[in-house]
Amino acid sequence: MPGMGGGGMGTLQSLLSEMDGLKKPRGFFNRVVRRALGMKPKPPPKYRILHIFATNQPGVLDEAMLRPGRIDRIYKVGYPHVDGRKATFVYYLDKVKHGLTDDEVTKLATITPYASGAQIKDMVNEALVIAIRDGREEITWKDVIQAKQLKEHGLPDDHEYIERERHAVAVHEACHAIVAYKLRKHAMIDVATIERRGDVGGFVSSIPPEDQFVQWRSERDIDIMTFVASLAGERLFFDGDHSTGVGGDLRGATTIATQMLAYYAMGDTVAARSVTLASIRGAEALETGTDRSLFDSGFGKQVDAKLASLRDQTSDLLGESRVDVLAVAHALEMHKTITGDDVAAVIEGKVGSTVDGRPYADPAFRQMLEHYHAAAERAHKDHSGLTTPIPVPIPPDPVGSEEGDSVPRGLGVAAPAPRQQIDAPPPRPDGA
């Protein structure tokens, strides 16, 4: 890359020399032979030469290349918008056998913001690999979603939680998911998982449904509530106790709250504190919340008060949504990784991408989830093993309910059994 040290300087000098040397013809024949024959050397060409360069590392370009007369205009080529992503998906999917509908391709383009053409091609290829490994030649919606998760988040570890900790991690992530689903309209849930990847025990990833340029105060408040949902939820479901797993969430919440109050007048004050504090202590410390003396000040107390207020609101919401939290936590324990569609399906009692959420609408099964959580909570307090097996819902009966049944068939519950995978749901309807 021109502009880099070492051998890059030689490349830079050669390139600059070639760019400057295109103004007139060169060579022994033109300069000497033509004069010897009484001919005038060829004049410079009347046409102008346009140089076009492309790089994905503009920060390393040498200033000598960017001066006026060499590179006069710089254009930033961003990521394709949703229509461009859809067209790219259609282009690469047409090269393979697939069963995706037009609605599914549109949805796929929507849930892959900031995806480049190369990433889309790689995702389709990975989906094809997944299908071939499963003994199929046709790509399905599930293959593409699995490929997307693999490319964006990497391979999970083979780590297996002890049962009480698995349940606690599932509740932690379920609290994030519930708050995001019920409040976060500017970003929809992409994936929720309890599979460990390195130092990350689980996460809920969200994506913007639109190419929005700015954020509003109400949206940032909801972002903070989504972060602090883990702290509020663990204290709510584990009798005031919480784990060290909330540390990263609190750092994210504190960063947003500090930025809101310090830069964007999203608090009780109007002045931008970056004019005073950042000039003395550095904007980096203020933005990330690493300035230790910041929170000993009155401003720091404002940040803490805002976080506490939003935490209390989040706790109230989770208390009202207790049934939904335990249902999503159960789905995470059974499947480990679920999509945003699955989260909605569990809450609404519908069929999702990979999870059938209809059994979670059964009051009897909800009682079993409460019983299982109570056992996990006791195991946490006693630091003992979880002896109560995780409840397993009965797979839906396509025939439907029979006359006289108090609960529609397929929405009942099975007796507690050793942990196993839920049977595969029926095929998803087109465009679901």
- Number of domains within the chain: 3
**Nearest residue to 313 (alpha-carbon basis) of 373, 229, 255, 384:** 229
Same domain, 202 and 269: yes
Residue 198: its pLDDT value, please?
73
Same domain, 423 and 326: yes
pLDDT above 70: residue 3: no
Same domain, 256 and 172: yes
Same domain, 309 and 355: yes
Same domain, 345 and 401: yes
Residue 129's domain comprises 82-153
Same domain, 57 and 86: no
Band of residue 122 on the pLDDT scale cut at 50, 70, 90: very high
Q: Is-above-0.75 flag for pTM?
A: no
Average pLDDT over residues 128-147: 93
Residue 45: its pLDDT value, please?
66
Indicate the residue among 92, 119, 153 that finishes a domain.
153
Report the b/e string of 367-400 with b at 16+ CB within 10 A.
ebbeebbebbbebbeeeeebebebbbbbbbeeee
Same domain, 129 and 234: no
Same domain, 267 and 130: no
Residue 353: its pLDDT value, please?
83
Express as a percent the part of the chain with pLDDT over 90. 48
Same domain, 112 and 191: no
Residue 16: its pLDDT value, please?
76
Tell me if 262 is assigned to some domain. yes
